[in-house]
Structure 1
Amino acid sequence: MARYTGAVCRLCRREGKKLFLKGERCYSDKCAVSRREYAPGQHGQSRKKVSEYGLQLREKQMARRYYGVSESQFAKYFEMAVRKPGMAGENLLRILESRLDNVVYRAGFASSRAEAKQLILHNHFKLNGKKVNISSLLVKPGDVITVGNDSKSSEKFKAVVEAWASRPVPMWMTVDKENMSIKIERLTNRDEIDLEIAEHLIVELYSK
């Protein structure tokens, strides 16, 4: 599936929830979901009966858009989740949370996951001391992500970190804002993920 290049606010409106795809704008009065609480398009305000399949599809699309992954990536993660012990739905969300771009975003080093992808692509981060530019890498307990020395002195990068310094840090990681480093203590638990989604519907969709 091709990468989406349209207005990301339309994605939030389509799902009827804030997916926090635009960073600071999502917390302001300019948020499209707050201003227009209906789906985009000429039929967006019409009420339609949603089928069981439709509900399952919407849950999958919402999760995929929230984490900014393609259809093929999402299907790959689901296959990984099924092979792991435990509940497939929770495993899927745990895998998505362990993506490097999500970790950078959760730690407060980017205003959105899209910005985290861009920063990683431009070699601003190191994983266990080695430069990394692949945002889809999955971290594991014990991994340490650091900001490169050249990037630490960047005024733009400092401004991003300061702007999001008050963002709550997940309990499964330790963040050193002064030295700009992140340590993965463990993988997340389901109750620590602030995504309002019924992951069992995604499992049902892929199980058909």
Structure 2
Amino acid sequence: MARYTEAKCRLCRREGQKLFLKGDRCFTDKCSYERRPYAPGFAGKLRKKLTDYAVQLREKQRVRRMYGILEAQFRSYFKRAEAQKGVTGANLLILLERRLDNVIYRLGFANSRDQARQLVRHGLFTLNGRKANIPSLLVRPNDIVEVRETSRKVPVITEAQEVIARRGCPAWLESDGAAFKGVVKALPTREDIQFPINEQLIVELYSK
């Protein structure tokens, strides 16, 4: 599947918000958004009045880029969220949070979702004792995610565990770094997603 391969910091600057795409670097003074908090390009510093459509589009792009998902897949998640009971916007965010690559990132076994996706693709994790190499797998309550025995000395995993304290582990997950294991205690709720997102704008965009 195609992926964005250009400078990730440009995405944060374009969206006017930190998306935490570079892992621990985003918490340091090296963060490009901290040094240049304006959109990239010649007209990046110009103030522009956005239309309602542009505001909705930017919110959708912000969430899509944060989770590292392409447009077709993101729209598929929206349709699934729309078909479920409850609030569509909240359902959408919960589905994104349940992705295996996001769970591995949240548990502190990777510095970013992009890195977590790569580690999953390389087969470094198991889900309920079985090898899992599909980043889009959706976890369920009581699922157990573990680093495979042969992969526990991989440098990026040990480095990620050292910095998880900076972002913390959400309440719906339980991380045991010493055992290289994490447990899904419950499904996430909208309140568990602390990142400032206005999901109603995404619903309005796709409802046009």
- Once the two structures are TM-superposed, the CA of residue 154 in structure 1 deviates from its matched residue by 3.6
Structure 1: which 5+ residue stretches go unaligned? none
Output the amino acid matched with 2:179: N
* Larger mean Cα displacement after TM superposition, 40-49 or 57-66: 40-49
Question: Which residue pairs with 1:101 in the alignment?
Answer: 101
CA separation of 1:73 and 1:151: change in aligned 2, threshold 3 A: same
Question: Which residue pairs with 1:197 in the alignment?
Answer: 197
CA separation of 1:55 and 1:123: change in aligned 2, threshold 3 A: same
CA separation of 1:42 and 1:155: change in aligned 2, threshold 3 A: closer
Structure 1 residue ranges (4+ consecutive) displaced by more than 6 angstroms after TM superposition? none
Question: Which residue pairs with 1:11 in the alignment?
Answer: 11
Question: Which residue pairs with 2:159 in the alignment?
Answer: 159
- Once the two structures are TM-superposed, the CA of residue 2 in structure 1 deviates from its matched residue by 4.1
CA separation of 1:45 and 1:89: change in aligned 2, threshold 3 A: same
Distance in 1, matches of 2:166 and 2:195, equals 19
Output the amino acid matched with 2:114: A
- Once the two structures are TM-superposed, the CA of residue 165 in structure 1 deviates from its matched residue by 4.9
Corresponding position: 1:176 with 2:176: yes
CA separation of 1:57 and 1:134: change in aligned 2, threshold 3 A: same
Corresponding position: 1:62 with 2:72: no
- Once the two structures are TM-superposed, the CA of residue 155 in structure 1 deviates from its matched residue by 4.6
- Once the two structures are TM-superposed, the CA of residue 166 in structure 1 deviates from its matched residue by 5.4
Distance in 1, matches of 2:163 and 2:197, equals 28
Distance in 2, matches of 1:148 and 1:166, equals 25
Distance in 2, matches of 1:115 and 1:127, equals 18
Residue pair 2:146, 2:182 contacting (<8 A) in 1 also: yes
Question: Which residue pairs with 2:73 in the alignment?
Answer: 73
Question: Which residue pairs with 1:25 in the alignment?
Answer: 25
Helix, strand or coil at the partner of 1:174: strand
Question: Which residue pairs with 2:133 in the alignment?
Answer: 133
Aligned length: 208
Q: Per-residue displacement from partner, 1:16-47 (whole Å, max 9, x unpaired)?
A: 10000001110111111111111001111111
Residue pair 2:24, 2:163 contacting (<8 A) in 1 also: no
TM-score normalised by structure 2 residue count: 0.96
Q: Per-residue displacement from partner, 1:140-162 (whole Å, max 9, x unpaired)?
A: 11211111000123455323323
TM-score normalised by structure 1 residue count: 0.96
Helix, strand or coil at the partner of 1:178: helix
Structural RMSD (CA): 1.4
Distance in 2, matches of 1:198 and 1:160, equals 29
Output the amino acid matched with 1:164: I
Structure 2: which 5+ residue stretches go unaligned? none
* Larger mean Cα displacement after TM superposition, 89-98 or 43-52: 43-52
Output the amino acid matched with 1:30: K
- Once the two structures are TM-superposed, the CA of residue 133 in structure 1 deviates from its matched residue by 1.0
Residue pair 2:110, 2:156 contacting (<8 A) in 1 also: no
Percent sequence identity is 52
